[in-house]
Amino acid sequence: MPLFRKFILIAVVGFVLLLLGVLLPGEEIALAQQPTGSVPTVTGTPPGPAVQVDPSLKFIYVYSGPGSFDYPRIGVLLANESAPALGRARDRVDWIEIYYPGVTGSRGWVYALYVKLSPGAFLPLVDVPPTPTPVSTPTINPTLEAAFIGQQTPTRLPTFTPPPPLELPVFNEPSASADTATGVPAGLLILGLGLFGLMGAIISYLRGR
C-alpha cells in the first residue's frame, strides 16, 4: 500500500509539472544560422598613375594645353598636392595631362619637371589640343590713324659749305737799321729819357716848396 501511494504521488507531481510546462510560456532559444558557402574577400583596386607637386615649390600653374605661351592658365596646384595623371603630349612629352575638375572637360596640363610621377606609372601619348583662337583681332583704320598721326614731309638737308681758309697774321722781325743809324742802343735811349723825366719831377717838387 505505501508503495502504491508513492507511485500515485510521483504520477501526480509529474502530471502537474508537465501541465505547468505546457501552460507557462518559456524562453525561446535562437540558434544562429551558420554560412554554408565561402565568404569572398574584398580587396581594394590599385590606384592609377598620379602626379605630385614638388614640395620645394609653393605652387604650379595648370594650363589648358601643353604650353605656357600657347595656352591660358586655368588653375594652380599647391605643394605636395596630387592629381590623377592621364597621359603625355604626343609631341611634347615634358607636359602631362591630369584630371582637373571644375574646368571645361575636367582636363588640365602641368609641366613634368615641376611634378613627380608615381613609381612604375606608364602614361599613354595623347593628342595635343588645338590652341585657342582670340575672340577678335584688333585692327586700326588707316584713315583714323592718319588723322591723329601727322605725316612728316621729307625735307632736304642743307648742303655743307666749307669755310674760307683761315689767314694767320705774319709778324716781321724788327730790323736793326734804327739802332745802327743813330749808333745808340734803344735801351739806353729809354733809360736816359726816364732819368730826364725823374729829374724834371724833382725840380718841380723843389720849386713848389
Residue 57's SS3 state is: coil
CB proximity list for 91: less than 8 A, separation 6 or greater = 128
Q: In this structure, what DSSP letter does residue 164 have?
A: P
The reported pLDDT for the residue numbered 8 is 73
Write down the domain spans for the chain. Answer: 50-118
Assigned CATH topology for domain 50-118:
SH3 type barrels. (2.30.30)
The reported pLDDT for the residue numbered 209 is 64
Kindly tell me the sign of the dihedral angle through the C-alpha atoms of 75, 78, 82, 87: positive
Q: Cell triple for residue 197?
A: 723825366
- In the chain, the amino acid numbered 142 is P
DSSP 92-156: -TTEEEEE-TTSGGGEEEEEGGGEEEPTT----EEPPPPPPPPS------HHHHHHHSPPPPP-P
pLDDT of residue 42: 47
pLDDT for 60 equals 96
Tens-digit pLDDT string for the chain (209 aa): 566 666 677 777 776 666 666 555 554 554 555 555 555 554 544 578 999 999 999 999 999 999 988 899 999 999 999 999 999 999 899 999 999 999 989 999 999 999 999 988 889 999 998 888 765 566 777 776 666 666 667 777 778 788 888 888 887 766 655 455 556 677 777 887 888 888 888 888 787 76
Residue 103 vs residues 76, 80, 85, 109: alpha-carbon distances, Å: 12, 21, 16, 12
